[in-house]
Amino acid sequence: MKQLKILRCCISNKENRLARISSSGKRGVTLLFSNGESAKARVSSNVFRKVKNPVCGDNAKVVKKQGGWYVEEILERKGLLERTSPVGRSQVLAANIDLVVVVASISSPPLRRGFIDRALASANWNHLPAALVLNKIDLKSLKDAADPDTLEKVYGEQAGYTVLKTSVISGQGIEEFKQLISDKTVALAGISATGKTSLIKAIHPELDLKVGAVNAKTTKGKHTTVSARLIPLNKTTFLMDTPGLRAFSVDHIPKDQLKFCFAEFNNVGPCKFRDCLHETEPECAVTDAVKKGIIDRERHLSYLKLLHEENAF
């Protein structure tokens, strides 16, 4: 009994809370509390024993001891975003993501189907729901603009993703975008200058976010964010700012599994061979569907490109 009292007394000296990890670095993590406050914290060594590292998006039990916050436990993760590190190890970049939104602009910078397909395949592999936003729809009459109706057919009707057409200039689709991400932890994927920050600002003008310029040098997809961080948009909606290009790599997907990451390939078939890679095999349901126009040729080409891509490490 005496012991219990002493124990209670010790516990009451500490402040135990739940928090979300907004970013994680070598020196510790940044916590985000439900009241909107944030604080730096160190990570207790028993955490490292259980999970390798706390990551952006983690839910954690934290405690305040001697004036400093400590992460004591990482709660079970769902919705992981993983990539393969340069030395070939699987690395968790972020946790508890509800939705990946691929943001592409139909022009300026020109739409890159390859990036979209890679990001969608990566989301698929991680079992994360994904949606495609076609931004800068106000530029659709430009000569080099991608055709939004074709993209809607390919990614919406055929592949089954939610596709939105948006413009922060005309306001088209902004309400739908707000609905899409509300009450979720959302990772935005997209090359630089497609309008990710502008879209967030359109629904949260009070946030202090920097909108960049479209720059010839950056249209190749330079990314400036080094590690993922979590930005609260309101109490229940979080934005995960990930280093877009690296995070959505497909390097870690085994080649024979890649075909399952192209949603619409799973709707046709079966092929003659169970292990068909949908390349040049006879009686392949996927290449047949491509010939018939049921599966988009460019999606199939994207798949073949990823299939033959040498891993980056």
Ligand X SMILES: Nc1nc2c(ncn2[C@@H]2O[C@H](COP(=O)(O)OP(=O)(O)O)[C@@H](O)[C@H]2O)c(=O)[nH]1
Q: Whole-number minimum distance, CB 210 to ligand X, in Å?
A: 7
Q: Whole-number minimum distance, CB 234 to ligand X, in Å?
A: 20
* List of residues contacting Mg ion (CB under 5 A): 196-197
Residues 154-213 that bind ligand X (CB under 6 A): 167-169, 190, 192-198, 211-213
Considering the rule CB under 6 A, would residue 10 count as an interface residue with ligand X?
no
- Choose from ligand X, Mg ion, Zn ion, none: what does 286 bind? Cβ within 5-8 Å by kind: Zn ion
Please, which residue, 114 or 171, has the CB nearer to ligand X?
A: 171
Residues 218-237 that bind ligand X (CB under 6 A): none
Whole-number Å distance between alpha carbons of 35 and 243? 27
At 188 the three-state DSSP class reads strand
List, in order, residues 6 or more apart from 278 with CB less than 8 Å away. 259, 265, 271, 284, 286, 287, 300, 303
Q: Whole-number minimum distance, CB 247 to ligand X, in Å?
A: 14
DSSP for residue 153: I
Considering the rule CB under 6 A, would residue 242 count as an interface residue with ligand X?
no
Q: What are the CA-CA distances from residue 65 to residues 2, 13, 40, 239, 290 (Å)?
A: 23, 8, 13, 30, 62
At 169 the three-state DSSP class reads coil
Please, which residue, 3 or 141, has the CB nearer to ligand X?
A: 141
| DSSP H helical ranges for 14-112 | 45-50
- List residues bridging with 105 in a β-sheet: 135
Please, which residue, 85 or 218, has the CB nearer to ligand X?
A: 218
Residue that is written with structure tokens 């390349």 in the block: 279
Q: Whole-number minimum distance, CB 167 to Mg ion, in Å?
A: 17
Identify residue 151 by its one-letter amino acid code: L
| Size of the residue set binding ligand X (CB under 6 A) | 19
Interaction site with ligand X (CB under 6 A): 135-136, 138-139, 167-169, 190, 192-198, 211-214
